[in-house]
Structure 1
Amino acid sequence: MGKRRVDSDDEDPSAETTPASKRARTADSDEDEAPRATSSRRASKGKAKSRRRDEESDDDEDQDDDEEVEEKDEDERELEADILASLESKRGTRGGVADHGIIETIEMHQFMCHKFLTFTFGPQINFIIGHNGSGKSAVLSAITVALGGKANSTGRGNGLKSFIREGQSASEVTISLKNQGEEAYKPQEYGKSIVITRRFTKEGSSTWKIKSKTGKLISSKKDELAAICDHMNIQVDNPMNVLTQDAARQFLSASVPSDKYKFFLRGTQLSQLSEEYDICFSNITTTSKVLEQKQEALPDLKRALRDATSRWQEASKAREQKQKVAVLKKEQAWAHVTVKRKEMEGKIEDVAKATRRVPRVQQSLDTAQANLEAADKVVVEEEQKLDELGDREGLNDKRKEVQDEIKKKRDTVISLHSQMKDMDGNIKKAKRQMEDYQQQIDKETKRLEQNTEAKRAETQQKMQAARDAAENAQKAVESLSAERAAAEEEAKRIEAEGRPLEQALRAANEQVQQCRNNIDNCRRAEKDRYAAYGTNIQQVVQQINQTRWKGEKPLGPLGIHCKVRDNQWARLLRFTLGSMLSSFAVTTVEDLRTLKKILESSGNPNVTVLLFKPDLFEYKHGEPPEHVLTVLRALEISDDHVLRILINKSSIESRVLAPTRLEAQHTLSQLRGGAQAWTNDGFLVTKFSEGGESSVPLHIREMNAGLLVGNASDELARWTQNHNDAQAQHAAAKAAHDAGYAKYGVARDAFASFGPRLATAEETVRRAKTRMRQLLEEINEDTPAELSALNEAYEESNKDREMLTAQFTDISRQKATLDAEMKELITQRDAYTAQITDFLTHQQQVKDTIEKAAENRTKFLSDVQGWKKKLEVENAKVKEAQEVADHVQTEFEEWTAKAELYCARVETDRDPDELERIIKSTQDALKERERRHGASVDEMTDEVNKARERLERTQGDLNKMGALVKALKKSLSVRLSKWQEFRRHIALRCKLVFGYHLSQRGYYGKVMFDHDKGTLQLKVQTDDQAATQGVSRDKDPRSLSGGEKSFSTICLLLSLWESIGCPLRCLDEFDVFMDAVNRRISMKMMIDVANQSDKKQYVLITPQDMTNVTLGPTVRVHRMTDPERGQGVLGFSG
């Protein structure tokens, strides 16, 4: 069957085709003689079944009285009975409402004479009434245009532009189709209604918008509209479905029988099938002629084969030489293979030689690489040792502080010594002056004794007593001062003894507080195992588990995977590995940045993130003997990657643990090479590989007890016990401190008791001296002025001596104190100097080791680079040799494969060139023979094969095409038979339904088909004929009145509608020629038929009034108002 053409939107009247159905294509020409031609062809070909005429009639109109005898076979009688029974069963019944394919609403914008017009159609019967000129027929035109029909089929215009309202630039028609039920079209997309909008403009453009019930645009293609119409069986271009005003007028007019027959075929789509069958028959005929022409070429092909075979047989004598050449070529082919095999074996040996050199170079490279790694490890270890040594700035600062203090005190001692020297000179000077004054006084006194001896003796006795009293009092002061100084020293000594007790008490307090802190940490660890490693670490671990990482998932915190085996090392390892235990490890830089952000956002900006390579390397070679305890052996590590990270970062496999520095030194002395140890008493002990060792204090402080804990509950119990022990130690330290403080109080009170006593003694000295001055004044009063002056001078010198002596004693005591302090400071300075010297010595040793290791590393790196280049060269040679060998091997395999395809293996030792000479001489002989015969044996063989192939191919093609033509003829015959059956059944149903509908008016009539001549005639007997004439004579429709003719035609139309499956029935001005009676009966009959029709929708247009027609609930009447048109006045000149 022919495929439906899809036209562009440019609505050229000559190019319009309908998308409504694949069966909707009809011939545009009324001179279509397809049925007649088909019938004639069937008669001439003998392919049609014999059939009887449905009706026989006399063409002469005067012989109306002749009775026509209609013979019916048994099948036709049964079919007629079934049709009549079906009609009777429908009487009084009501058909169902269609679920899809009927029109729900139609809207017209600027269409024909309507500015805007809309209708909501009922599901079964719709009458559109209105006066002439109201635009009723525009509704059918809008339906045709919106559903893709041709514009000229409406009879209202030659193109879409003619439908645009005058004065407007564009027009639009929208139709809503019902889309429900099981057979709905794409209900998921369109819903319960399909809204189709067609817009066209004066410029000739035309567009479709196909939307869902909700207004969503689904498609704008005409193909989608065609698919919808095909699915719903809508045929808008079928003249039987949409009968326009012109078509209705033509149908109702007195057309010739052949036109009615053509209308019948087009309406039932039988004409389209007939046309397609004609095309099929024409193609089959053409193919048969081509086959007949090809059949004539067979004798020539057979003769050509015989001639070629004869020539080939004449040249067959050359076969032996040809076979000899073939044998030689086979041997030559395998001779080439043998040569290539020998070349391949040589190349493979070259590859083996080059390959054998690679392992030796690789071994040298591995050795150099191992040396380089060892040197790198030495550099790393020594640099780590250097880092662990720290710097000497602290020691230098402390030594400088001590040195500055020594200098300050030395300057003070020198100053005191100078003062003491000056004082000693002044005291001696004062004593000499006193001796001089005493001699002068004695001399003067001796001179005066003669005159006042008795009085003077008494005065001198009193003076001597006062002097003795002053001296005794002064001795008492000096004795008390000495005792007071001794008491002060004792108090200071006791105070110094109390400082360790105070430090011990402070340490006990700190230990108790540390135990309490660790108890709190252990309790937190029981609830959160990550609490010891930072803030919100558990949330950090959850984020790590939920994040997608570039490399492997980060490890951490590392301490989660570590547990100390013996708690005696926990404090030391928590201090030395603390930061490592809280750190995380990642494998890529991108992951490091991501994890840093996570840690910072959780409040852990200082947590270290390490980069590591997930390499489970072997580390046993770096461990000391098994009896030596290392950090690795003291820990239980559950993750292999964490273990190796700690090995790389902290050398835990070689770091020794010892209880004391002495034991660490002893253990390290037994190990070869350099090593380091951590001790429980707080030292980093280093043994240098070149000799010598150092010890650096670690200054251990207690870290979080949650680190390196396997079981938090056990650790909590241990720290609880430690807390109890610490409290006991605190109590003992406090008791010792209180006892010492009490002893210090006694000594301090003893020291303080000397104050009043010393003050009393000093007061006694002052009173004695006052008494001496009084006596001296008395003596002076009785003695001459010269002796008095000497006595005063003597007393003045004595005062100076006493003052200088007191000052000298005080300064001597200060100097003694400073000397003792200086001695202690000098001891500290010497200790710091020794430590700095020891530090510099060890630091220089480590630097020398690092420098030497760096030199070795540079040398080994150069070796590695050299061996790598050498290995690359050797690998390149191997690769080059392998490529050559592979190429030769590939050639050998290809040559072998080609030789095997050419012939079986031939063993030969002959050279290919030698075989080439033999072949050439033999071929020259063959060419000479071919020259004599005019062609070679191969050419003749090819000629025979080609001739045979042409003959066999032609015979095969003819046989296949003949079978195809036979099958096509058989198929077409079956289809033509079915076509005739369809036509016979439709015609029979049309006859019966036509008579049935005429009987509603009391008429009797027949539809007479002549399928051979292609005519359709109506015979109608009215009721007035039977009443007036008393005879039964059929009338030709042309002799009927206008109303009778219109009623008869309506009956014919209803009978034809019974054979059409389209859900739409549209008819325009069907009652224009009917009288009132026929119109009323026709209306009732049409309404009854419509009500009995199942799932059909009728749109009937009439200019008549509907007041005399009884309407039921299934009928919807749409009344149109008169159009608004400008009515002017013709201007006639008076």
Structure 2
Amino acid sequence: MAKRRAVADSDDEGGSEQHSKRSRTTESDEEDQEQPRAPRRSNKGKGKERARTVGSDMEDDDDGDEMGDVAPDEDEEKKFEEEHEERIRERLMNKSKTQGGIAEMGIIESLEMTQFMCHKYLTFSLGPQINFIIGHNGSGKSAVLSALTVALGGKATSTGRGSGLKSFIREGQSVSEVSVQLKNQGEEAYKPKEYGKSIIIQRRFTKDGASSYKIRSREGKLISTKREELQAICDHMNIQVDNPMNILTQDSARQFLSASSPADKYKFFLKGTQLSQLSEEYQTCMENISQTAKVLTRKAEVIPDLQEAYEEAQARFEEAEKAREQRHKADELKKELAWAHVATKEAELTGKLTEVANIEHRVGKAEESVKQAEDKRATVENQVAAYEEELEALGNVNALTTRKEELSTKGRANKTKLASLRSDEKQINDSLAGVNATITGLENQIADEHARAETRSRGKRDKTAAQLQEANAELADKEAKQKHATSEKLRLFGEAEASEKEARRLRDDQGQLRQRIIECDEQMRRCDEMQNSKVAQFGNNMDAALQHIRAARWHGQPPVGPFGLYVKVKDSEKWGQVLRIVIGGLMSSFALTDPRDRPTLAAILQKTNNRHCQIIISEVDLFDYSEGEPPERYLTVLRALEVSDPYVLRQLINTAHIENQLLAPTRREADQLLLSLNGGGVALAADLYRVVRFSEGGGQSTVINDLKTNDPRQQLFRNSNAGAERQRWLASRTEYSNRLADIDRRIPESTSAPQRARAEAKNFDMQEQQYTRRMRELRNKISDLQKELNEDLPVNIQALQDALQEQQTEKESILAQFEHIAREKEKVNAEQRPIVAEQEDLRVQIAEFGAKQTNITDNLSAAVAERMAQVKAVEHYQGKAEAERQKLGTAQKTAEDVQKEFEDWTAKASEYCERFPNPRKAELVQRNLEAVQAALKEREKRQGASIEEIAEELQRKKATLDTAKRELRSLMSLNRALKKSVKSRLARWHEFRRHIALRCKVYFGYHLSNRGYFGKVLFDHVNGRLDLKVNTDDQNLTQNNNREKDPRSLSGGEKSFSTICLLLSLWESIGCPIRCLDEFDVFMDAVNRRISMRMMIDTANASNRKQYILITPQDMNNIHVGNTVRVHRMTDPERGQGVLAFS
């Protein structure tokens, strides 16, 4: 059913109520068809007979009142309930298990009252689903519903709190104002561009009876002050403030809960579900149809008089007809003139239809272009997704980086150990130097003592001394050789490590140089191709592709491309690198004007191995692009290019937006240029940065990855010729080859050098061990000989010898420490070598991962850029298609106007005469007709009679008669169709009532079951009664569940609970998004109130897009409040008023 306007026209003092109107639709497809025209006869009595026939038809058509109810067939009602009750019950159970959604429009977000009733100022926000307003009696809770009704244009009397608006003004004040904020979101929002996401309705009224509205947007902008706009908003959002079922005030709620009779409940049912208003409107329609039938009967009585007047005029014309040949000629000329005008209009119509057909063809081509662009966009999006998946599948190098860090930590620890060992070694060397100096001093002293005592004992002592000297000399020699072996061993191990590192570096350089040589060979091959063909840089076998294109047959214009043939860079040294990366891919593109040619061109490109070439479909539209350019002082990509073909230029603008992308030498300068524009944009920097500034503020810059050496785009936008480029690449290849030959020569040596060094180091290690063993033997021997000498020496020499022996022992200890440090150093170096090797392997792996990641990222960036280009292409073609559709609409409107004129002229000409074959031009026929008419007038002057005037009178009489008959038939047919439509609507009205009543019964029983009660609703549609039958738990015990009780026998709480169940059942039958109920629990005991509250909360939660506002003087202590429930606690007005507190 159509939405109803629920806003009364006025609530001012003495204001009158205007019933809302309902939109009507035609329920019949009958068409008015003109009856075949009967042959003209001179019998005058037939007209009156036809009038009587028409009258009887109208009387037969009026077959009495259709609005009354008849007693229903019990079997039919039972069958109806059996067919639908289970489905309704199943829907109810499913609904109770689901959470209702939040309404996007039509619910109340906030309410504000100023000097309204007992409130000086009150404002609060309502939740989107369930709202309880609680407070002490007299705290002004009911004022909320009154303010809501008044703000939305409801009648003041419907609130039960006053007879006019001025009664709502706070005592002692002269003006009051209420404001309601309605939610206005979603697809069905009311004028979202004007109002935004909320609509604020303010109503101000004074003691003098003046009232005004202000309807504002969410930002507070005044949109309208008209009541009609408020009515339109309420109609659109299906808000019915005067519907008693939507807003049940305190008095109405008490009466409904405590003292409503079955007749009152039935009236409440009809009025709340709007069935009563529909019934009244249908009754009014039937009365109007009956009155119209009587008027048409009276009009039919005039037809015989008009028929008689027409026949008299026809007889007079026949009697006055003279000069037949000239009149006939004039008539024929008039016929020819009429059809000559029709022929002229037909020629004009043909031209317009041809124009429409041409535009339709262009629309089809434009839509095909849109489809092609969307397909290409989808393909590119798939590529982007594939690259993203590949990038995600690649993973990361966290494990390798972690391992590398671990190795670095170990390496640093080993280096720390080596540094510590070197420090210890230095200290040992210093200690050894001191000990050696001490030994030298002691030996000199001993020598002096020996010189003084040499005269005393020479024999045996000389021999022992000689042996001791020989042993000391050999020990010194072995110490020197051991030190030399140790240093050589360490040196050779260091050389081995350095050689291994150098070998790894050479192998890496060898692989890179070989790849560079391959890339140089590829670029030289392309240069050779470019020397033979100027299009070789744009693809493979491009000359053959162009030959196939020239030889092929095309529906539209031949393909244009590759684009690079028409594009040059003015300053290639400065901008060539960045432009090769950004627009280089488009240089191999082709453009078509007809989508049907795409498969042919694609096959040619695939055959010549040019699948990478992009195909763009676009008509030749040399549009003006100057509006999209920045001021002349800014260098754009377009201004840095020379494009010789305007069609290619437009394609580059559509695809790459070269007209508004700025160029700058550096990233900083690019950012400054965009800031000076004050509108955002994109700039490309020669140092390979892409800088973006957003219009709303902020920006970003990203690195543009340079092209690889083997990228075909390397040959684009260079001023040098192909020969010079080939020499440049040849020089690079020669350099790489020489470096590779040197590396190839050095790699074998760098591979064998570590092996030789380690072998020699092992030899020195063996020598070191041999010297160490011999030194230990010599020290023992020296110690023995020294003891032997000391036995014969004087005491002072003996002391010196003992001191010397201590220093030599100290020296041996230091040398032992030195050997230990040397071994530790070798051990640390041995540990460090695999760490260094593994670090190098990890570096290579991480570098390889970075290369793969960079390659995928480059491909992804290119695919994203291509996707952006395709999105822009789709937008361009969609805009072009829309423009063509607008042209088509204009052309079709013009053609329709011409068609209507042509049909009107043809109809008029057909009414005037039959079609005249091959009429002459209208100007020539007009001149002939004027000559004949002049001759007729001259004859009429001579005869004193005007045949034309008689003929015109005859035509007027005939037209009057035909019009009267046609209008009468049309109105009679319309009246019958209207009556049939009303009958059909009445049948559906009864069907609606049956469905709503059945649903009310099912929901009523379901709600009663929450309390453990049983009952049903009895509808008596004939007598207009709605009875409730309820069985409570105690009745089941006392009456053995064999009898149902009237609600009057129930207690006050049980009666209120039953009526609440009925109200919830009726609420399921209305579409208003707002449900308001005041003091519904006034007669309830604690148990019934708790169950009722829970039931209402559950029902509200399950209701989809509905807002509930429930007012109660009781507290909410024993009620579970979920996240969908908002409780508003009112304070007494005299204790200060402000923002409402939430609990």
Which structure's CA Rg is the greater one? Answer: 1
Query: What TM-score do you get using the length of structure 2 for normalisation?
Result: 0.41
